[in-house]
């Protein structure tokens, strides 16, 4: 059996493949399906966007698909950028653009105003079944980027228990505790239970 990951983001695909590697299925990517262009994220919630991606890719390819959407929710910004995290600084914003905008928006905020969380919703769609699961991790927004690893807002997201940002962790360390890791492991459990019930 094959599952296709409904994302063109290579960083995200690598994380997803790592977490899902123990599923007894072949994990494939959109690299082999150029007919699946960019999927517009028109949903108003992470769940809507995750399902939108998975449904679209499943419909076009006929292969069971996993989609996900992630938001960085900063309490002092009323939960923003949230569902708009990837395009916070504009439709074609780079990671650096988004980081710079967030730092500018929070430049007057003290340490106690920097609580935040990363939240991911992962969705599985195979034409018959739709499953979703969520993962999140609490942290703080730093005053400046720290670390060389990861992607997106990782250099700004400080995890107090680890005393470092996501960008200071190896991919393996990050996957153990990250929002996307939690969401995918929860989805993995749902899928395992679903497939066991069909045997």
Active site residue 69: yes
For residues 183 and 52, give the distance between their C-alpha atoms in angstroms, rounded to a whole number: 17
Q: Active-site residue among 68, 69, 126, 154?
A: 69
Sorted by sequence, the CB contacts under 8 Å of residue 144 that are 6+ apart come out as: 103
- Phi/psi of residue 129, nearest 5 degrees: -115, 140
Report the C-alpha gap between 102 and 155 in whole angstroms.
Answer: 12
137 contacts 144 by C-beta, under 8 angstroms: no
Q: Look at strands 115-125 and 65-74 and give their pairing.
A: antiparallel
Q: How long is the chain?
A: 199
Q: Give the active site residues.
A: 69
């Amino acid at each position: 059996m094959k599952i296709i990951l409904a994302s063109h983001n290579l960083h995200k695909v690598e994380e997803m493949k790592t977490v899902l590697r123990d599923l007894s299925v072949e994990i494939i990517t959109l690299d082999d399906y150029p007919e699946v262009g960019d999927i517009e994220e028109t949903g108003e919630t992470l769940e809507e966007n995750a399902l939108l991606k998975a449904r679209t890719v499943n419909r076009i390819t006929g292969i069971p698909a996993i989609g996900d959407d992630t938001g960085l929710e900063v309490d002092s910004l009323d939960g923003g950028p949230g569902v708009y995290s990837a395009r916070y600084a504009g439709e074609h914003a780079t990671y650096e653009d988004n980081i710079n905008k967030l730092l500018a928006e929070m430049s007057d905020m003290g340490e106690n105003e920097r609580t935040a969380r990363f939240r991911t919703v992962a969705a599985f769609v195979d034409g018959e079944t739709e499953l979703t699961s969520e993962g999140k991790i609490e942290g703080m927004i730093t005053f400046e980027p720290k670390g060389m690893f990861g992607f997106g807002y990782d250099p700004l997201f400080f995890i107090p228990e680890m005393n470092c940002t996501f960008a200071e962790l190896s991919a393996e360390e990050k996957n153990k505790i990250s929002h996307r890791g939690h969401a995918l492991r929860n989805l993995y459990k749902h899928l395992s239970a679903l497939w066991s019930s069909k045997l």
